Amino acid sequence: MDYSSYVDTSLDLNCKPNYSRDLYDAALPPPPPPPKKELESKFIDFGMKLGAKQENTSALVEELNRVSAENKKLTEMLTMMCENYNSLRNQLAEYMNKNPVEKELSPSKKRKSESSNNNSNNIITTNGNSESSSTDEESCKKPREEEPIKAKVWKTCVRTEATDTSLIVKDGYQWRKYGQKVTRDNPSPRAYFKCSFAPSCPVKKKVQRSVDDQSILVATYEGEHNHPQPSQMEATSGQNRGMALSSVPCSTNSISSSVGPNITLDFTKPKSGNDNTKSAKPARTESPDVRKFLVDQMASSLTKDPNFTAALAAAISGRIYQQKSS
């Protein structure tokens, strides 16, 4: 019997030597198996190719490490790039958000500016000044308080006695002193008065002695009295009896910041008979008949007084005696 058909005596060895090729060409099909006649020579080459496989493996590992390191670098670069991209996108988003906001705000700003202009115009038209306060109370109060003040400013000069150091100018009105300060240009203090004759009277008065002549009181009035004028008899009585209504300009500086008309009255100079242009009531008292009547009354009262005659006689005799002795 022949058992060769039942038993396969071939070794069927296949060494698959494709790893010596390119590392990236792993998908190539394996080469055809060598014929059985060359098996012995293949066994000889097997040991040599095994050493070559180890070298290829190490090269493969090195290549894998290199690509992995490159992959890591790419990942880091991509992460950094994503961060920068997100940051830049956020900036762009903020910029895009700001622009519509500015576009929306611009009309409101215009409306606000228009409203503020309207308010300021209202204040200007109602108050006559440029103050920006816009509360209702102030807008209601200031027309009453400031319009009269700005309306009229005038100044008077009154000569007082040398021994008198008070800052009181008797002009017939009742004044309440509410302040006093020392100014830079004048050593004498400046006193501030407010008319107290009527509670709602806005007139204020500043009284200060003149720089040139300390015996002259300079009173600056602001505003107009909203009440009837009290008796003027007080104005010509007491220590200010030399006061007379005349329109002679005063030597002191006038207020430059005042808006209204400035009127300066000088009561320091002696009144003359021809100065009766501004005031009506003093004009009536300075008529020739009245002056003659007053002079007669004064003369009669003086001659009737025995003390006056004795003093006059003593003065005249003393004067004569001094002239003789000299």
Partner 1 sequence: KQENTSALVEELNRVSAENKKLTEMLTMMCENYNSLRNQLA
Least separation in angstroms between CB 34 and partner 1: 18
Determine if 68 is a binding residue for partner 1 (CB under 8 A). Answer: yes
With contacts defined by CB under 8 A, name the span among 73-81, 194-202, 203-211, 291-299 that binds partner 1. Answer: 73-81
> Which candidate, 203, 223, 205, places its Cα nearest to that of 167?
205
Residue from 17, 34, 49, 56 touching partner 1 (CB under 8 A): that is 56
Determine if 74 is a binding residue for partner 1 (CB under 8 A). Answer: yes
Q: Please name the residue that has the structure tokens 């300060």.
A: 181
Number of residues that bind partner 1 (CB under 8 A): 30
Residue from 20, 21, 26, 41 touching partner 1 (CB under 8 A): that is 26
Q: Side chain identity at 30, as an amino acid letter? A: P
With contacts defined by CB under 8 A, name the span among 19-27, 257-265, 279-287, 305-313 that binds partner 1. Answer: 19-27
Residue from 5, 9, 12, 24 touching partner 1 (CB under 8 A): that is 24
Whether the Cβ atoms of residue 207 and residue 215 lie closer than 8 Å to each other: no
Least separation in angstroms between CB 146 and partner 1: 55
Q: Please name the residues in contact with 217: beta carbons below 8 A apart, sequence gap of 6 or more.
A: 157, 158, 159, 160, 167, 169, 207, 208, 209, 210
Task: Give exposure, 298-326, as e/b (b: 16+ Cβ within 10 Å).
Answer: eeeeeeeeeeeeeeeeeeeeeeeeeeeee
Least separation in angstroms between CB 102 and partner 1: 17
Residue from 14, 20, 71, 165 touching partner 1 (CB under 8 A): that is 71
With contacts defined by CB under 8 A, name the span among 60-68, 216-224, 238-246, 285-293 that binds partner 1. Answer: 60-68
Distances (CA, A) of 133 to 3, 138, 149, 229: 128, 7, 18, 34
Consecutive H or E run containing 19: none
Q: What DSSP designation does 263 have?
A: E
- CA 102 to CA 104: how far, in whole Å? 5
Query: Is the alpha carbon torsion for 200, 223, 243, 166 positive or negative?
Result: positive
- Considering only residues 75 through 114, tell me which ones interact with partner 1, judged by CB under 8 A: 75, 77-78, 81-82, 84-85, 88-89, 91-92, 95
Binding interface with partner 1 (CB under 8 A): 16, 19, 23-24, 26, 53-54, 56-57, 60-61, 63-64, 67-68, 70-71, 74-75, 77-78, 81-82, 84-85, 88-89, 91-92, 95
